[in-house]
Amino acid sequence: MRISTSLMIQNSLNSMLDQQLSLSQVQLQISTGRRIISPSDDPYGSSRSLNLDEGIAINTQYSVNGNFADIRLATTEAALDGLTNAVQRVREQMVYANNDALNSESRKAIREEIIQLRDQILALSNTTDSNGEYLFSGYQGNKKPFSPDGTGNFLYAGDDGQRYLRIGSQTEVAVSDSGKEVFMDIMNGNGTFRTSQDPANTGAGVIGPGSVTGVYLPYNYQIKFLPPASGLVTDPQEYYVVNTDTLEVLAAGSGTAASGSGGVYATEAAFLAAVGGGLDTGVPYESGAAIQGLNLDGMLVEMIGQPDGGTIAATPQDVFNIAPSEHQDLFATVQNFVDALASPQETEADNAHFHNAMNRALIDIEQNMSRILEIRARIGGRMNTVQRQQDINETFNLEMKKNRSDIQDLDYAEAITNLNLQLQSLQAAQNTYSKIQSLSLFNFL
């Protein structure tokens, strides 16, 4: 093989260029701090780094979502805290107003405060988050959820949707509660049934909210009062209990029906005919005692005061109603209190109407308070979930960044050693080239 001078020079140049390329690669690694400059440097490591970059980006977004969820839930909690204070104040004023020692001027002052509290509750129900979206409008974040209709009622413009936000690969958290659940869909009365007096009552009887004592049967009932069968005004008034859905009389002077076996009388008309003929009587009324017959259908109801039984034996006078609980919004409960404070309180009958209204308002506001506390407890649980997930996300991010660093970050000690070796190799190549370049046969002639 023939080796020419040009070939030797070209080989030397190629060797120096290779050494310079390797040296530049090491210098670039040192300047960037990364071992992998291009995918060809380490295809497997580069692929793993890309996967870790994607995981870090997704996890970072989860952390951003978690921060937003925490802020929104904290805003909701603050609104509900204000709502709790306002509703608690309304309840305190209900208890205070339900006092015969107060005069109309005192109750008027209470009424003015309750109107202000109602407006405050309305403002809290329309609270917005940092983005200007309403907290309690469900999916309709841009719609103002509550507004008065001008007749004392309040309309809900949102829906019953609940927004969720993903804060982890397997974790979602609710970041809203619809106004329908918080303010609207609340059962009145004791949550199972509600009691009330007939607006036409003329006596001083006051019915309590009652409670469930057994298997409750969701019918409509009435407690109706009659004059004493003896005709003596000194004897107690009498009453009977009728199921207005089945028309059966559950309690009468002859006794109470056995549970599930039908009433004492199949119809109210049959019972009143027996009373008119002197064949039966009502149950003697005792203030503070449980109303007989209702226990058979799972209810315990007590009454105080003196209802009016009228004067005609077979014609009931005062009537008290028991019906299954229905949905009643917080605004209606507060408005009922406002209306009760404006009602006349001049006679014993007026006072009885007022106290019956107060009993209903108090038990209704208790239901509202229970709902608010229930929602706040849920929010507290969600905030704890967000905090725990944020800690998990932070730990994941640190681990993934460490793994990525192990794959692509440069070992400076090793790189500097390589740099020195490359410099020495380049210098050796340059020296070799210099010596080869000076070689010539003419030097030996």
Q: Where exactly does CATH 1.20.1330.10 map onto the chain?
A: 38-188+328-409
Q: Which of 443, 428, 423, 432 is nearest to 11 (CA)?
A: 432
Instruction: Quote the DSSP letter at residue 298.
Output: T
Q: What tokens does 48 get? A: 């793993």
User: What one-character-per-residue DSSP string does 394-430 give?
Assistant: HHHHHHHHHHHHHHHB--HHHHHHHHHHHHHHHHHHH
Cβ-contact 317, 309 below 8 angstroms: yes
Which fold is adopted by the domain 38-188+328-409?
Answer: f41 fragment of flagellin, N-terminal domain (1.20.1330)
Q: What is the mean predicted confidence (pLDDT) over 328-356?
A: 93
What pLDDT, on a 0 to 100 scale, did the predictor assign at position 381? 95
- For residues 324 and 313, give the distance between their C-alpha atoms in angstroms, rounded to a whole number: 30
Q: What is the mean predicted confidence (pLDDT) over 224-233?
A: 91
- For residues 357 and 351, give the distance between their C-alpha atoms in angstroms, rounded to a whole number: 10
- Of 22-36, 107-121, 159-173, minimum mean pLDDT range: 22-36
Q: If you search the block for the tokens 């990525």, which residue do you land on?
A: 404
174 exposure class (CB count in 10 Å sphere: 0-12, 13-18, 19+): middle
pLDDT at 104 > cutoff 70: yes
Q: If you search the block for the tokens 């209709």, which residue do you land on?
A: 149
120 exposure class (CB count in 10 Å sphere: 0-12, 13-18, 19+): middle
What pLDDT, on a 0 to 100 scale, did the predictor assign at position 384? 96
State pTM to two decimals: 0.80
Taking phi over 0 as left and psi of -120 to 50 as alpha, with beta for the rest, 293 belongs to left
Which secondary structure element, helix H or strand E, spans residue 323, and what is its range?
A: strand 319-324
Strand partners, 238: 226, 284
Instruction: Quote the DSSP letter at residue 181.
Output: I
- For residues 373 and 152, give the distance between their C-alpha atoms in angstroms, rounded to a whole number: 26
Which secondary structure element, helix H or strand E, spans residue 146, and what is its range?
A: strand 146-148
Angle at 318 between CA 312 and CA 319, to 5 degrees: 125
Query: Cβ–Cβ contacts within 10 Å for residue 385, how many?
Result: 19
- For residues 205 and 223, give the distance between their C-alpha atoms in angstroms, rounded to a whole number: 11
Which secondary structure element, helix H or strand E, spans residue 226, and what is its range?
A: strand 221-226
Query: Cβ–Cβ contacts within 10 Å for residue 238, how many?
Result: 23
What pLDDT, on a 0 to 100 scale, did the predictor assign at position 56? 86
Q: Highest-confidence range of 157-161, 169-173, 365-369, by mean pLDDT?
A: 365-369
Cβ-contact 398, 131 below 8 angstroms: no
Q: Highest-confidence range of 151-155, 347-351, 395-399, 406-410, by mean pLDDT?
A: 347-351
Q: If you search the block for the tokens 């509600």, which residue do you land on?
A: 194
What pLDDT, on a 0 to 100 scale, did the predictor assign at position 12? 59
Q: State pLDDT tens for residues 126-165.
A: 999 988 999 999 999 899 999 998 887 899 999 999 999 9
- What sign does the dihedral 264-269-272-277 (CA atoms) show? negative
pLDDT at 345 > cutoff 80: yes
- For residues 206 and 306, give the distance between their C-alpha atoms in angstroms, rounded to a whole number: 8
Q: What is the mean predicted confidence (pLDDT) over 268-291?
A: 93
3-state helix, strand, coil in the chain (%, to 5): 50, 15, 35
Which secondary structure element, helix H or strand E, spans residue 6, and what is its range?
A: helix 5-32
Helix axes 104-125, 330-341, angle to 10 degrees: 160
- Residue 396: pLDDT band (50, 70, 90) is confident
pLDDT at 346 > cutoff 90: no
Q: State pLDDT tens for residues 4-51.
A: 556 656 665 666 666 565 556 565 656 665 655 555 555 655 667 678
